[in-house]
Amino acid sequence: MSARFTTLGRYPTTRLRRNRGEGWSRRLVAEHKLSVDDLIWPVFVQEGANSRTPVASMPGVDRLSIDLFAEAAKEARDLGIPAVAIFPETDPAAKTPDAREAYNPGNLVCRAITAVKKAVPDIGIICDVALDPFNSDGHDGIVRDGRILNDESVEALVKQAIVQTEAGADIQAPSDMMDGRIGAIRTALDAKGYHHEQIMSYAAKYASAFYNPFRDAIGSSGALKGDKKTYQMDYANSDEALREVGLDIEEGADMVMVKPGLPYLDIVRRVKDTFGVPTYAYQVSGEYAMLKGAADRGWLDWNKVLIETLTGFKRAGCDGILTYGAVDAARLLKSK
């Protein structure tokens, strides 16, 4: 052996490239694997029949009428996707300051839940609990004199969670960030005998500029007055996320979520390491728009960045990911 190697530390005894040399070896040493079981597909629904409307700021994503949503849910189930999350575009005429449409048992969400449950009984249905699709102020809670009222909002959220559960939803996912809502919803569900219906708490949800395309999709961006910084978290904070998650678990959350996703993987890791509970992240609309928008211009390879980012979520400690790319990812994983 040539003497020149002796000056380079442990090289060549230790060569980390050895395990990377062949595809079969890379597969053998892979630490994390993305599977279709990790995917939750968020879907936007609209009124009407046999109709779809492209969401301009989310290329490739359409808002679907309930019948098309039921068909799409069947497809998702056939691909092996465990669950869908429903987000409604509410008729502006139905939006009021008290957001009462949120707990109208005949609202678009409830009809969508019932239709999908009937068409595809074996896919999980997750529903947001928040008032922003129904509130004329575009806020997640009830606004009075420019303030978002906590306890009054929680009362409305509890009613919303109940009608959604009665319609057949499996998981209530409070995304409103009011204090105490998890405990209030758990208590109300149990009082009604819904002991098995789960709660996935948007526990560490940050006030983020990455939600804009979502607000376009559900038609709340025009309505929104001000920002959501008095209830959603400051992105400068990390310890506070652990307090939020800890409280939600104490109050009865079965699963917790961090949101947005990619810029917050450090939070995912801390939450998973601290609590060891089922932990999810939401690859939100702005993250999707960034990747898809660049891919559509030929600057990124969509399939590759999708799988890379989703695997990154797994590596950070996620048990699953909400992603608008769920169907694409499921197809890619199947064809592999």
Q: Applying CB under 6 A, does 280 fall inside the site for ligand PBG?
A: no
Please enumerate in sequence order all residues whose Cβ is within 8 A of that of 10, keeping only pairs 6 or more positions apart, or say none.
Answer: none
Question: What is the rounded CA–CA span in Å between residue 291 and residue 304?
Answer: 10
- The verdict on 285 binding ligand PBG (CB under 6 A) reads yes
Q: Is 259 one of the annotated active-site residues of the chain?
A: yes
Instruction: Please tell me which residue in 95, 159, 228, 259 is annotated as part of the active site.
Output: 259
Q: Give the tokens for residue 336.
A: 């592999």
Query: In terms of Cα–Cα distance, which of 160, 101, 93 is closest to 127?
Result: 160
Residue 313 sits in the site that holds ligand PBG (CB under 6 A): no
Least CB distance to ligand PBG at residue 176 (A) = 6
- The verdict on whether 225 is a catalytic residue reads no
Helices (H), 91-218: 108-119, 150-167, 181-191, 212-218
Draw the binding track, 177-216, toward ligand PBG (x: CB under 6 A; -: no contact). Answer: ----------------------------------x--xx-
Map residue 203 onto helix, strand or coil: strand
User: According to the binding rule CB under 6 A, does residue 61 interact with ligand PBG?
Assistant: no
Kindly state the smallest distance separating residue 213's Cβ from ligand PBG, in Å.
Answer: 6
Phi, then psi, of 303 in degrees rounded to 5: -60, -40
Stretch touching ligand PBG by CB under 6 A, among 105-113, 127-135, 148-156, 160-168: 127-135
SS (H, E, C) 80-101: CCCEEEEEECCCHHHCECCCHH
Residue tagged active-site, from 95, 117, 205, 228: 205
**If you search the block for the tokens 């993305």, which residue do you land on?**
34
Single residue of 39, 109, 110, 130 touching ligand PBG by CB under 6 A: 130
Q: Which residues bind ligand PBG (CB under 6 A)?
A: 128, 130, 132, 140, 175-176, 211, 214-215, 228, 284-285
Residues with a catalytic annotation lie at 205, 259
